[in-house]
Amino acid sequence: MDIEKVAKAIEADAGETIEGLRDSLREMVQGEFGREYTEEQLLLIEARRALDLSQARFAKLIDTPVATLRDWEQGRSRVPGSVRVLCRIAIEHPEALISVA
């Protein structure tokens, strides 16, 4: 893969220079992946998407600081069991929480 050619095409499509793009492409070619997600992280993200809420609005819904939600979503800390259950409800029955949001 010609990394420079691909990077130029992506930047032309975006209409701007993208910082770190060439490094990311090199890592991709070398088989290095920048992020792996835990089941907890994916559960949170899926729940927010099911409710169509931003991190800030979802954090407000569950009465949690947005910084804490970000820590959970980025895997810096564990998601409490009660939040995991709430996420499952949001995914399976979003209408139950939409009126509260």
Q: Which distant-in-sequence residues (6+ apart) come within 8 Å of 5 by Cβ?
A: none
Residue 61, pLDDT above cutoff 80? yes
pLDDT tens for each residue of 83-101:
999 999 999 999 988 877 6
**Stretch 15-33: mean pLDDT, rounded?**
86
pTM over 0.75: no
State the pLDDT at residue 99: 78
Residue 73, pLDDT above cutoff 70? yes
Ordered by start, the domain boundaries in the chain are 1-34, 39-98
Q: Cα 54 to chain center, whole Å?
A: 10
Q: How many of the other CB atoms lie within 10 Å of CB of 95? A: 8
CA-nearest of 50, 4, 55 to 29 is 4
State the pLDDT at residue 101: 63
CATH class, domain 39-98, is mainly alpha
**Stretch 12-27: mean pLDDT, rounded?**
89
State the pLDDT at residue 27: 85
Q: What is the C-alpha to C-alpha distance for residues 24 and 18, in angstroms, rounded to an integer?
A: 11
